[in-house]
Amino acid sequence: MTLNSAVTPGASESSANRHAVSSAAVPLVFDAVGQSFAVPGGTHEVLREVTFTAEPGEIISVIGSSGCGKSTLLRAAAGLNRITAGTVRIGEKAVTGLDPRVAIGFQEPRLLPWRTVADNVALGLPQGTKKAEGEATVTRLLSLVGLSEYADHRPKEISGGMAQRVSLARALARTPGVLLLDEPFGALDALTRINMQDLLLDVHRQDPTTILLVTHDVEEALYLSDRVIVLGKDTPEGPATIQRIVTVDRAHPRDRADAEITALRSELLAELGVEEIAA
């Protein structure tokens, strides 16, 4: 197998067909998306001509330097920002606001401290879910993320890694067609972050929804993703565009020490202006 890079927007056949696909999974399409914001004296263009498709069941990571529009891109997919150019589509439907087929996971777990772990997961259930069905879903998800025995605990009684697992289970409670993750493991220690990455892949194997992940961690992006989108600016004050799309042609589970992935990590870090310190 080889690692390939391209700037074409479509998914490679290998990445699109690599996973069994959940019946709920849908494509996430960015078509010439631009985003500008009003500032004193005019407008500030953040994104320009962003075009790519996350195929059903595909995992795509977005990397780039701070302030290049990664989270802006994610918010556009979530319907939290009104884009100023182009179209974002979930399946065949243009995004014009919050979509019940989309779930979001944040860097902070954002759990309600007065509710139990099970009750926090239940908050993600679709409105109108029958009680028995909801309880069964929560039980299944807690088992999936390894927290069955903590169902009745409060957030203050569990670790940060456990809280992040609760957050992931809550996001999956609605059986989303698209899962958006904004630096979901960024606040965790290194060992817990590695465990959470493996957990995400385990969950995805069992319920392979479409995932768009924003991360600052190049190694994380290469370990998790079918493709990695590199956002960047041609000039310091200019808008971010897609600089490169990298296809990671490796089946999961991956070897974190894979020589070609390690070489690509160094290459991407250099592109992002990060100098590696020799061991």
What pLDDT digit, counting tens, does each position of 89-117 carry?
999 999 999 999 999 998 899 999 999 99
Domain ranges for the chain: 4-93+218-271
C-beta separation of 63 from 272 below 8 A: yes
Query: Number of C-alpha atoms within 13 angstroms, CB side, residue 23?
Result: 0
Confidence of residue 11 (pLDDT cuts 50, 70, 90): very low
> 86 φ, ψ to 5°?
75, -165
Secondary structure (3-state) at 3 = coil
Instruction: For the chain, give the mean pLDDT.
Output: 90
CA angle, corner 105, sides to 166 and 228, nearest 5?
125
Distances 10 to 62, 159, 269 between C-alpha atoms, Å: 15, 40, 24
* CA–CA gap between residue 168 and residue 120 (Å, rounded): 11
Mean pLDDT, residues 24-32 taken together: 96
* CA–CA gap between residue 100 and residue 124 (Å, rounded): 10
C-beta separation of 16 from 55 below 8 A: yes
* CA–CA gap between residue 266 and residue 147 (Å, rounded): 36
What pLDDT digit, counting tens, does each position of 178-220 carry?
999 999 998 899 999 999 999 999 999 998 999 999 999 999 9
Does 3.30.70 match the CATH number of domain 4-93+218-271?
no
Run of H or E including 212: strand 210-214
* CA–CA gap between residue 62 and residue 262 (Å, rounded): 18
Can you give the pTM of this predicted structure? 0.89
* CA–CA gap between residue 118 and residue 129 (Å, rounded): 15
Residue with tokens 């490679």: 12
Distances 257 to 28, 107, 200, 222, 260 between C-alpha atoms, Å: 31, 26, 19, 11, 9
